[in-house]
Amino acid sequence: MPKITYVTSENETHTIDVDNGLTVMEGAVQNDIPGIDADCGGGMACATCHVYVTQDWFDRLPKKEDGEEDMLDMAFEPKKNSRLSCQIVVSDDLDGLTVNIPSKQG
């Protein structure tokens, strides 16, 4: 099962086994990782599952859809490497992915 590492804004590291097919957001919510709110439940409608992805991983992830970039306009302190974790679907290719959680979701 792919391992995903979540790093909180306080630099706590949580490495979790996440089933293939779940999103990085679902992996966080199901394992009570703090800092990913996911208010809309994965509908790409709220920007409260915002994460930063390190540059090498960022380039390897499937590209963002238009709607995701629009929602990121609303995120708290978006950066070049911002993603919505509900739009990243876990697969074997993502084994070892690390995402950083911002200090706030809004």
Partner 1 sequence: MNKTDALIIGAGPTGLFTAHQLKLIGLDCEIVDNLDKIGGQCIELYPDKPIYDIPAVPECTGEELTKNLINQLKPFDIKFHLSERVEEVKKDDVNWIVKTNSGKIFSTPNVIIAGGVGSFEPRKFPSKECEKFENKSIFYSVKDKKIFEGKTVAIFGGGDSALDWAVELSKNSKVNLIHRRDEFRGAQATVNKMHTLVKEGKINLFTKYQMTSVKGNGQLESIDIKNDDDEMKNIKADYALGFFGLIMQLGPIANWGLNLDKKTIEVDTEKFETNQKGIYAVGDICTYPGKLKLILSGFHEGALAARACFKLARPNEKYRFEFTTTSSSLLKRLGKKE
Q: Which parts of this chain interact with partner 1 (CB under 8 A)?
A: 37, 39-41, 43, 45-48, 69-70, 72-74, 76-80, 104-106
CB of 29 to partner 1, least distance (A): 9
Q: What angle do CA 44, 88, 54 make, to 5 degrees?
A: 115
Nearer to partner 1, 16 or 40 (CB): 40
Strands 3-7 and 97-100: parallel
Give the integer Cα–Cα distance in Å for 73 and 92. 30
| Nearer to partner 1 (CB atom), residue 71 or residue 90 | 71
Q: Are strands 50-53 and 97-100 parallel, antiparallel or unpaired?
A: antiparallel
Q: Which is nearer to partner 1, 43 or 62 (CB)?
A: 43
Provide, rounded to whole angstroms, the least separation between the CB of residue 106 and partner 1: 4
